[in-house]
Structure 1
Amino acid sequence: MDERLYARYWIETAFPLEYAAETMAGEQSTGTFTRVPGETDELREHHAARVEQIAELDSVSEPSLPGAGLPKGVTASTRYCRAELTLSWSLSNMGLSLPNVVSTIAGNLFELKPFSGLRLMDVTFPSVFLDRYFGPQFGVSGTRTLSSVYDRPLIGTIIKPSVGLSPQATADLVARLAEAGIDFIKDDELQADGPHCPFRKRAEAVMRVINGNAEKTGKKVMYAINITGEIDEMLERHERVRSLGGTCVMVSLNSVGMPAVNALRRHCALAIHGHRNGWGIYSRSPAIGMSYIAYQKLWRLVGVDHLHVNGLQNKFCETDGSVIASARECLTPMFPAPAKGCEVMPVFSSGQSAKQAPATYAALHTTDLIFAAGGGIMAHPQGEAAGVRSLQQAWEAAVTGVPLTDYAATRPELRTALEKFAA
């Protein structure tokens, strides 16, 4: 294999940038702390990582992370240089294996002593990876077909309380939401197969309600049932959901890992809703971890159909600009035509209500998204049905360019939502 994999990093170091870059390249390919007899020039020519580019940015007087080393003979440093650099590897090093790609681009390099900051910013895959990985089965257009929603966002919610409801109580809530015209419902990531709400009983109770509503209305609500578990459990649960007439399953991506999601995708006949809980481990510090640009490409290649991106004015620590950039990435093709682009549906959630609809649409310029509000629906003073209608109305206003307050003047559900969630 003579094609190459490229990864872009942000680094901070007290060492000369060229030395730091070569240290990274060596650690993640042919090198160790000293050259060994087997590391011939010929071997290095074919297998050593290459430093493709170094672009110096700025510098700081203090290290961003503890434990960083200093150049030999230096006892203190008042300058830590920051830069962006790009490394590349021959695919002959790792083959078409995402677990081994991750070991290469996001492995021991985070612990290297010369660095007081190191973050994976992006990864560029050659399209030959599509020979092994399927990518999304449904993506944006398939999700719209399954949900019968074509010209607006999917309005969704999360079962709340997150845990504690029985299977029947969950189904009763789903019935009210379905009758209100909701498009999408998901289990909370904390609810998978607990003793108080076993997966099988919950799935049967919920799908009985959804199927009954579909017979009356002609529209089947998409319910992302959480099947997170061991691989054999997930495959078995997928089959159960399919046999019950479901259209979607949910997986906690960071909990089960890429090989498990890949096994599910190869077996799967339903849309895969990818939940990123635990993402903060990678993202919270700007000085270490990885960007969502790199992260989401891994899961798109594996084959999820939906990916969470947080939401505007969210309850977490992510900025609105970062949220929108993440959503745009999900909708940007990974590979040039005619190869499969692997676009997925971005999922907006976290503290969402009617008030965020206009800003979301104005920033993203598309309705290709799932807009999921838990408390924004469940806590509506007039009940869940009014909560659903308030979101529908908010998005109507956003798309048509009518100010929310004007649109709410003749729509009590929206007006009440704005009063409730204004703070």
Structure 2
Amino acid sequence: MIIARYLLETPLDPEKVAAMMAGEQSAGTFVRVPGETDELRKRHGARVQRLTIVGERDRPTLASAYLERQGASGPWRQAEVEIAYPEDNVGVNLPTLAAVVAGNLFDLGEVTALKLVDVTLRPEYRARYPLPAMGIDGTRRSLGVPDRPLFGTIIKPNIGMKPDEIAHLVQMLCEAGVDFIKDDEIVGNPVCAPVCERVDAVMKVVRQHRERTGKEVMVAFNITDELDAMRRHADHVLAQGGSCVMASLNWCGLSAIQALRQHTPLCLHGHRNGSGAFGRHPAHGIAFPAWQTLYRLSGADHLHVHGMDGKFADAIDEVAHAARRCLTSLGAEDDRVLPVFSSGQWAGTLGQTHSRIGGSTDFLFLAGGGILAHPDGPRAGVESLRAAWEAVSVGDDIARHAVRSPALARALDTFGGR
């Protein structure tokens, strides 16, 4: 069975509404129809496995014209609901899986708020979907970094540079010692820097750096587009010696990401931009644990989780929980994905990032301004991260450690009051 957990809000009997949800998303509708036999319901009907009342409100979170027509009034009770859906209703079909556990549920008139909290799968069912091509271990092997966090940055300014200007910046960042560089999410195939021209210019300097130093730098080229274009762009990145492509998951969609995974052996860097529209409200939408389960079934290797004390709205606990979920296998095989911390990150946020995910070093730490805006330049920005990690890894205070690292001291002076 596929288990979905929800937070439900309704002024009606929550048990009846939950049962209606299970029927709506499996074998039933609002009335019994011909052919809807007891045998069919037993075989294909979803069932409510658990319901717990957790609170109530004196007003609804969202309006419902349906309830207004019924003259329904409060209190609006909130309940945790767990529903089990038969796997055979879905088969191996990722968009349909999403339609089953979410679908029309958010629009039901009986509901004034609904949050899809999590989706849990049997290991045997998870194994029927693509695994990451590289995942955590493959990314580490590619970069030759076995035992510390991976440090990277983002091309800034976000957009407007020409391919040769981007290549110049990438060369500077390679020489500064980064492990990873990515395009911004708004840079797909702009007129100022078409993706193929960008790939050619950037990979030329990456290959030269590799040949000169033996050091691999992974570049995540943003190939977000319609599926055929993404396939072509991925092929071009591979032909130029690249190792990674990036896509905006929410706007490409589950089936396009799954098809891209099946097409290319490249590392697939999954950007979550837009996820706030689905999950930011505490009572309505799709929470990160459920969202990441679906996109991990598409075969992504890396997933963004935002950042500690960053520029986005997420609480530290939310960011930490998202990262820990990425580091938890969905099935029997190691299908963990690399959590990517970004947004307002710098040397000073590295310590709590490490501690809040249980001391794991399996994460990609992206510092845009934290590297590029360091007052002594990108090399010093990278040095500040390395020095901060030296302190964090032995339990030392980074401010005390900064006495021995001018780059870290300057980072603390520059970014510490933000």
**Counterpart check, 1:201 vs 2:197:** yes
Aligned to 2:287: 291
Aligned to 2:119: 123
Aligned to 1:218: 214
Conservation of the 8 A alpha-carbon contact between 1:273 and 1:306: yes
Deviation string 1:319-344 (CA, Å, 9 cap, x unpaired) is 00000000000001111xxx323100
Structure 1 counterpart SS, 2:404: coil
Correspondence 1:21-60 to 2 at 5 A: 21-60=18-57
Structure 2 counterpart SS, 1:96: coil
Conservation of the 8 A alpha-carbon contact between 1:308 and 1:348: yes
Structure 1 segments of 4+ aligned residues over 6 angstroms from their partners? none
Shift of 1:131: 5.1
Conservation of the 8 A alpha-carbon contact between 1:312 and 1:323: yes
Larger displacement relative to structure 2 (356-365 or 321-330)? 356-365
Shift of 1:374: 0.7
Shift of 1:71: 9.5
Amino acid at match of 1:140: I
Separation (CA, whole Å) in 1 of partners of 2:308 and 2:39? 52
Aligned to 1:114: 110
Q: Give the number of equivalent residue pairs.
A: 416
Aligned to 1:377: 371
Amino acid at match of 1:197: A
Deviation string 1:274-306 (CA, Å, 9 cap, x unpaired) is 001111111111121111111111111211110
Separation (CA, whole Å) in 2 of partners of 1:410 and 1:49? 62
Separation (CA, whole Å) in 2 of partners of 1:111 and 1:83? 17
Larger displacement relative to structure 2 (283-292 or 126-135)? 126-135
Deviation string 1:156-203 (CA, Å, 9 cap, x unpaired) is 000011100110110100111100111000000111110100111110
Unpaired segments of 5 or more residues in structure 2?
Answer: none
Amino acid at match of 1:199: V
Separation (CA, whole Å) in 2 of partners of 1:207 and 1:94? 41
Aligned to 2:347: 354
Structure 1 counterpart SS, 2:56: strand
Of 377, 392, 401, the residue aligned with 2:395 is 401
Shift of 1:68: 6.3
Deviation string 1:89-132 (CA, Å, 9 cap, x unpaired) is 11221211111011110100101111111011111122333454
Shift of 1:152: 0.7
Shift of 1:398: 1.2
Shift of 1:74: 5.0
Separation (CA, whole Å) in 1 of partners of 2:64 and 2:382? 50
Structure 1 counterpart SS, 2:89: coil
Question: Could you state the TM-score of these two structures normalised by the residue count of structure 1?
Answer: 0.96
Separation (CA, whole Å) in 2 of partners of 1:237 and 1:132? 27
Of 122, 133, 136, the residue aligned with 2:132 is 136
Amino acid at match of 2:248: S
Amino acid at match of 1:36: V
Q: Classify 1:213/1:73 alpha carbon distance in 2 versus 1 (closer, same or farther; 3 Å).
A: closer
Question: Could you state the TM-score of these two structures normalised by the residue count of structure 2?
Answer: 0.97
CA RMSD of aligned residues (A): 1.4
Of 330, 350, 353, the residue aligned with 1:334 is 330
Separation (CA, whole Å) in 1 of partners of 2:392 and 2:60? 44
Shift of 1:72: 9.1
Shift of 1:50: 0.4
Deviation string 1:34-76 (CA, Å, 9 cap, x unpaired) is 1112212121111111011101111111111122654997553
Q: Classify 1:260/1:73 alpha carbon distance in 2 versus 1 (closer, same or farther; 3 Å).
A: closer
Amino acid at match of 1:363: R
Separation (CA, whole Å) in 1 of partners of 2:143 and 2:297? 23
Structure 1 counterpart SS, 2:177: coil
Correspondence 1:168-247 to 2 at 5 A: 168-247=164-243
Structure 2 counterpart SS, 1:409: helix
Unpaired segments of 5 or more residues in structure 1?
Answer: none
**Counterpart check, 1:66 vs 2:66:** no
Of 78, 88, 102, the residue aligned with 2:84 is 88
Shift of 1:394: 1.3
Conservation of the 8 A alpha-carbon contact between 1:394 and 1:404: yes
Amino acid at match of 1:390: S
Amino acid at match of 1:84: E
Conservation of the 8 A alpha-carbon contact between 2:11 and 2:73: no
Deviation string 1:341-393 (CA, Å, 9 cap, x unpaired) is 31000000011111101111111111100000111111111111111111111
Separation (CA, whole Å) in 1 of partners of 2:86 and 2:52? 22
Q: Classify 1:269/1:202 alpha carbon distance in 2 versus 1 (closer, same or farther; 3 Å).
A: same
Separation (CA, whole Å) in 2 of partners of 1:395 and 1:107? 44
Aligned to 1:97: 93
Aligned to 1:419: 413
| % identical aligned pairs | 46
